[in-house]
Structure 1
Amino acid sequence: MSKNKIYPFAVASVRSMENSLMTKQKLMQMADAKTAEEALRILSDSAYGKTQIKGIYEFEKMIGNHLEETYQAVAGLIPQETFIDIFLYKNDYHNIKVLLKEEVSKASGKKFLIQGGTIPIETLRKNLRERNYIELPNINGEAVEEAVNMYAKTHNGRYIDSILDKACFSTMEKAAKKLGNAYVSKYVQMLADITNLKTLLRVKKMDRDYQVLEESFVPGGGVGLEFFSRAFRSDSPVAVLKETPYGSLCEDYMDQGFTVFEKACDDYLMEYIKDAKYKTLTPEPVMAFILAKETEAKCIRIIMTCKMHNIDVAIIKERVREAYV
C-alpha cells in the first residue's frame, strides 16, 4: 500500500458504520442490568440483535456473527490490499492453537474456534491435518512444526501457545512493514510491547522463572528482551519500566493486580486508536473501527460473563474498557 494512497470512500463508509458502535453509556447500562437476561435484552436492541439466540448461554453467537459481519464489510472497503489481514492474523493463529491442542488431546475444541480470520476454519483444519503449508501462505509452517515437536517432547501446551504467539506477532510485524503505514506499524509495535508487559507481570505474579518470560516474549515491540530481563530481575520492575514509553502506565497500574493492569493496557491502546477520528482520507479510521469493534466485543463478554456469575455491579463497571465513541 502506498504511503500516499487515499481512501475517501472507505473512510466515509466507516464513519457511517461507527453509528453501530455501542457507547460507554450503553455498556454501563448493560452493567447496571439486574440480571443477565436483562443485559441480553439491552444487547439485543443493538446491532448484535440481528442474531437470534435461545438464551443467555448463547450470547457468544451474537458476538461471533457480528464480528464476522464487521470483518467482511470492512474488507470490502479496501479489497485490493492486505490492510485488514494484519488485524485478522491473530484469529488465524488462535484457531491454529485450538486445532493443534484438539489434535494432541483428542478432545473437541469446536467451542473455542472463532470466525474472522483470513483463512476459513475448515480450510485451516484440512491443511493443518495434512501439514500442507503451501495452502497457508501467511502461516509460519516451521513454527507450527516446532510447536508440535515441543509438545511431543514436553506434553506442555504452553509451548503451543508461546511458539505460535511469537509467529503471529512476527507475521503481523512483517505485514505492517510491507504496508508502509506508520500509524499501523506503531500500533503493532505497541501491541507487542504491551503483550510483553502483561507476560512479565503474569510471570512475576506466578513466581515463574526467567525462562518462561524469555520463551513467551513476542517480537515486534520497541522495548527489547534485555530491558525486560532487567525488569524481571529487579526488586522493583516498575522502577525499571519507568524508563520506557509505558512508564506512566506501569507506574499507575502494574502494582494493582493483573485484572486492573490488563484493563489499563486496553485503555492505553484505545487512546492511541482514537487519534484516527481526525483522519479523513487515509485508512487509519478503518483500522480503528476494527479494533473498536473488538474492544466492544470484549466488554460485552466481560459484562455478560460477570452477570451470569452474579458479580457485583461496581466490579463489572471497573472492568469495562473505554469505548471508541
Structure 2
Amino acid sequence: MAKKINEYDYLYISARIHAMENRLLTRERMERMLGAHSVDDAAKVLSECGYGEFASLTPASIEHTLDQARLELFAELRRSVPDPSIVDVFCIKYDYHNAKVLLKAEATGQRPDELFLDAGRYPAAALQEDYLKGDLSRYSETFRAAVAEAKDTMASSGDPQAADFVLDRAY
C-alpha cells in the first residue's frame, strides 16, 4: 500500500522553492537579456540570477551553464521531496524532445548529439544507445509505444512533423 501523502511533508520544499523564485529567469529578465547591447550585458542578467561567471561568453557556453543549472535544480528537488518521482512530471518533456531528436536524426542521417537535452527521466546517451539497438524495454510503456508509433508514422508519411504530433500527444 502506498504511503499517504501528508501536506506537511512538503512544507520544507514549498518554502525552498519560494526562496529560489528570486533567482528564476523571469520574462522580464529574459527580455532584458534579449535587449542587451552585448553578450556581456546579457551574461550580467544571468549572473544576477545566480548563474555565476561564465568561462567564455559563447552561445554554447551560456547554453551549457543553463543546462547545468537545470540539472542541478532537478537533482536538488529530487533530494528534497518525499517522493522524488514527483519531479519526473517536469522532466518528461525532455524525454519526448530527445525522442524527436533521435527520429529526425535517423531520417536525415545527421548526428543528434548537440540537440539532446539531458534533463529527462532517461539519460540522453542511454536513450540514444537503446534506440539504436532497437531495445526500449526499460522505458515506460507509454513512451515506448509513442516512439514506435512516431517511427512508423514518419516511415509511412515521410513527414517529421507528423511524428512530432504523435510524440506530443503521448507527452
TM over 0.5: yes
Q: Which residue of 2 aligns with 1:198?
A: none
Identity value in percent = 26
Q: Which residue of 2 aligns with 1:16?
A: 19
Q: Which residue of 2 aligns with 1:103?
A: 106
| 8 Å Cα contact 2:92-2:120 kept in structure 1 | yes
| 8 Å Cα contact 1:97-1:164 kept in structure 2 | yes
Summarize the alignment of residues 200-279 of structure 1 with structure 2, pairs less than 5 Å apart.
Answer: none
Q: Which of 10, 34, 46 does residue 49 from structure 2 map onto?
A: 46
Give, in whole Å, the separation in 2 of the partners of 1:116 and 1:156: 27
In the superposition, the TM-score normalised over structure 1's length comes to 0.46
Q: Which of 73, 76, 79 does residue 73 from structure 1 map onto?
A: 76
Sort the Cα spacing of 1:4 and 1:164 in 2 relative to 1 into closer, same or farther, 3 A: same
**2:127 corresponds to 1:130:** no
Give, in whole Å, the separation in 2 of the partners of 1:138 and 1:87: 18
**2:150 corresponds to 1:167:** no
**2:164 corresponds to 1:158:** no
Sort the Cα spacing of 1:164 and 1:26 in 2 relative to 1 into closer, same or farther, 3 A: closer
Sort the Cα spacing of 1:160 and 1:33 in 2 relative to 1 into closer, same or farther, 3 A: same
Give, in whole Å, the separation in 1 of the partners of 2:29 and 2:117: 25
| 8 Å Cα contact 1:140-1:167 kept in structure 2 | yes
Larger radius of gyration: 1
Q: Which residue of 2 aligns with 1:241?
A: none
Superposition deviation, residue 135 in structure 1: 0.8
**2:38 corresponds to 1:35:** yes
Superposition deviation, residue 62 in structure 1: 1.9
Sort the Cα spacing of 1:106 and 1:47 in 2 relative to 1 into closer, same or farther, 3 A: same
Q: Which residue of 1 aligns with 2:124?
A: 121
| 8 Å Cα contact 2:154-2:162 kept in structure 1 | yes
Superposition deviation, residue 41 in structure 1: 3.1
Sort the Cα spacing of 1:10 and 1:42 in 2 relative to 1 into closer, same or farther, 3 A: closer
Sort the Cα spacing of 1:46 and 1:10 in 2 relative to 1 into closer, same or farther, 3 A: closer
Q: Report the residue type matching 2:149 in the other structure.
A: E
Q: CA RMSD in A?
A: 2.4
Render the CA deviation track for 1:136-175: whole Å, top value 9, x for unaligned. Answer: 126532221121112112211112201111111xxxxxxx
Q: Which residue of 1 aligns with 2:93?
A: 90
Render the CA deviation track for 1:225-280: whole Å, top value 9, x for unaligned. Answer: xxxxxxxxxxxxxxxxxxxxxxxxxxxxxxxxxxxxxxxxxxxxxxxxxxxxxxxx
Superposition deviation, residue 57 in structure 1: 2.2
| 8 Å Cα contact 1:150-1:159 kept in structure 2 | yes
Give, in whole Å, the separation in 2 of the partners of 1:111 and 1:101: 13
Sort the Cα spacing of 1:48 and 1:5 in 2 relative to 1 into closer, same or farther, 3 A: same
Give, in whole Å, the separation in 1 of the partners of 2:141 and 2:29: 38
In the superposition, the TM-score normalised over structure 2's length comes to 0.82
* Secondary structure, counterpart of 1:162 in structure 2: helix
Give, in whole Å, the separation in 1 of the partners of 2:34 and 2:150: 40
Give, in whole Å, the separation in 2 of the partners of 1:93 and 1:87: 12
Give unmatched runs, 5+ long, in structure 1. 169-325
| 8 Å Cα contact 2:22-2:49 kept in structure 1 | no
Give, in whole Å, the separation in 2 of the partners of 1:81 and 1:26: 30
**2:73 corresponds to 1:56:** no
Superposition deviation, residue 113 in structure 1: 1.0
Give unmatched runs, 5+ long, in structure 2. none
Give, in whole Å, the separation in 2 of the partners of 1:96 and 1:24: 28
* Secondary structure, counterpart of 2:66 in structure 1: helix
RCO comparison, higher one (Cα < 8 Å, 6+): 1
